């Protein structure tokens, strides 16, 4: 493993909003063919776009911030008019912007000093239907064109979670079978089902799971192949064993879960971090020749397919690494890293945000 080598930082300049500071909730990123930077947030119902600074020197960064609401394009209002999408994974191939929501349920947190009320709050787990989005929106000149498609969804999940509920590894994390009422998905940040990365290779989507991590080491990447169906919907092809609409790729990330994915040629880069809401190791891994995987797999360091590249610096309670993308805007190939809960040093003024760019070790 190499030491983390910081090439430099890139400034992202956002419009000032009186309602919320989007810089505090960034959770996913992707660059399009024109160099525009697209960002997802774990709050809200859309995506952000920044353009490269006009006539700027290399590394000048991004500005001209614009927010695009995807609620109508993805037809989400019928499920939950107020619920956030919780965009946790993003990739761009050609003119298609792909996004995934986290697919998580949430447990109410404690509030105030009343013990009885807090004990009751901690029993409440709820689904948020809009978080089950897996879909794409067409782009034209840095603007969503309105043409969109997604997996079929309902208030309890989507076509993928419906299939996974029968899976021997993942089914127990998507419902609690001994409950008499409707199945209740295990909550996020409790090793529950939680998508936090997306990378597209041809027709194949790779979804990285923050949780569950099985047996303390087996993190998961799920592979699916959505195909165009009628009425703006996508259907899952049967690509797995016995015609399953998914494949499972287990990776030994030393107890960490997946926080984001991106492609480097045919290799899959994996950003890994804690499954729980705590300060811990954050590491970049390389899964070699992941594009060649054609069955369920297990990868660890013993065969050379999985390589630990470098650890990110640990900063207590802040700078939680959430997104990665290839970036060569500082004069050499690098990996841009985006952080949720950014430290104050990343926000030098009221609108700027400083993302890190690390040197990417050669294969």
What single string gives the DSSP state of each residue in 322-347? EEEEEE-TTSS-EEEEEEES--GGG-
Domain spans in the chain, listed from the N-terminal domain onward: 6-359
CB 211 within 8 A of CB 191: yes
Please name which of 140, 106, 110 lies closest in space to residue 126, comparing C-alpha atoms: 106
Please name which of 70, 79, 52 lies closest in space to residue 336, comparing C-alpha atoms: 52
State CA 149 to chain mean position distance: 19
**What's domain 6-359's architecture?**
5 Propeller (2.115)
Q: Say which residues have a Cβ less than 8 Å from residue 329's Cβ, sequence separation at least 6.
A: 10, 52, 58, 59, 357
Strands 297-299 and 247-252, how do they pair? parallel
pLDDT in tens, the chain (363 residues): 777 899 999 999 999 876 778 999 999 999 999 999 999 988 888 999 999 997 767 668 999 999 999 988 998 876 777 778 899 999 999 999 999 999 998 888 999 999 999 999 998 888 888 999 999 999 999 999 878 999 999 888 999 999 999 999 999 898 754 444 555 677 877 889 999 999 999 999 999 999 999 999 999 999 999 999 988 899 999 999 989 999 999 999 999 999 999 999 999 999 999 998 888 899 999 999 999 999 999 999 888 899 999 999 988 999 999 999 999 999 899 999 999 999 999 999 999 999 999 999 988
Instruction: Locate 289 and state its tokens.
Output: 């020749």
Residues, the chain: 363
Instruction: Locate 73 and state its tokens.
Output: 């394009």
What percentage of the chain reaches a pLDDT higher than 70? Answer: 95
Rounded-to-integer distance, Cα 213 and Cα 259, Å: 12
- pLDDT for 17: 76
Rounded-to-integer distance, Cα 123 and Cα 134, Å: 29
Strands 194-201 and 157-158, how do they pair? unpaired
- pLDDT for 179: 46
CB 271 within 8 A of CB 284: yes
Rounded-to-integer distance, Cα 263 and Cα 287, Å: 10
pLDDT digits (tens, 9 = 90+) for 212-222: 999 999 999 99
State CA 291 to chain mean position distance: 19
């Amino acid at each position: 493993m190499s030491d983390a080598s910081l090439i430099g930082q890139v400034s992202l300049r956002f419009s000032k909003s009186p309602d919320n500071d989007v810089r505090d909730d960034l959770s996913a990123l992707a660059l399009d063919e024109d160099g525009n930077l697209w960002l997802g947030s774990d709050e809200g119902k859309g995506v952000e776009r920044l353009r490269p600074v006009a006539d700027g020197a290399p590394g000048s960064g991004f500005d001209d911030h614009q927010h695009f609401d995807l609620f109508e394009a993805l037809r989400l209002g019928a499920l939950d008019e107020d619920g956030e999408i919780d965009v946790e994974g993003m990739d761009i191939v050609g003119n298609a912007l792909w996004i995934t929501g986290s697919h998580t349920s949430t447990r109410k947190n404690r509030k105030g000093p009343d013990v009885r009320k807090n004990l009751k709050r901690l029993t409440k787990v709820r689904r948020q239907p809009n978080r089950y989005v897996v879909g794409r929106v067409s782009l034209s000149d840095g603007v969503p064109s309105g043409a969109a498609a997604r997996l079929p969804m309902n208030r309890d999940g989507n076509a993928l979670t419906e299939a996974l509920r029968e899976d021997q590894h993942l089914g127990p994390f998507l419902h609690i079978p001994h409950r008499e009422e409707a199945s209740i998905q295990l909550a996020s940040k409790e090793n529950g089902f939680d998508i936090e990365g997306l990378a597209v290779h041809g027709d194949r989507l790779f979804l990285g799971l923050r949780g569950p991590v099985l047996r303390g080491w087996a993190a998961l990447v799920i592979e699916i192949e959505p195909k165009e169906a009628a009425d703006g919907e996508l259907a899952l092809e049967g690509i797995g064993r016995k015609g399953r609409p998914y494949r499972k790729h287990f990776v030994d990330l030393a107890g960490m879960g997946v926080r984001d994915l991106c492609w480097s040629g045919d290799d899959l880069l994996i950003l890994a971090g804690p499954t729980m809401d705590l300060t811990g190791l954050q590491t970049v891994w390389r899964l070699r020749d992941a594009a060649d995987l054609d069955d369920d797999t297990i990868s660890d360091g013993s065969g050379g397919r999985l390589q630990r590249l470098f650890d990110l610096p640990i900063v207590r309670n802040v700078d939680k690494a959430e997104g990665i993308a290839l970036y060569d805007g500082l004069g050499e190939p690098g990996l841009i890293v985006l952080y949720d809960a950014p430290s104050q040093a990343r926000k030098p003024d009221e609108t700027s945000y400083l993302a890190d760019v690390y040197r990417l070790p050669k294969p």
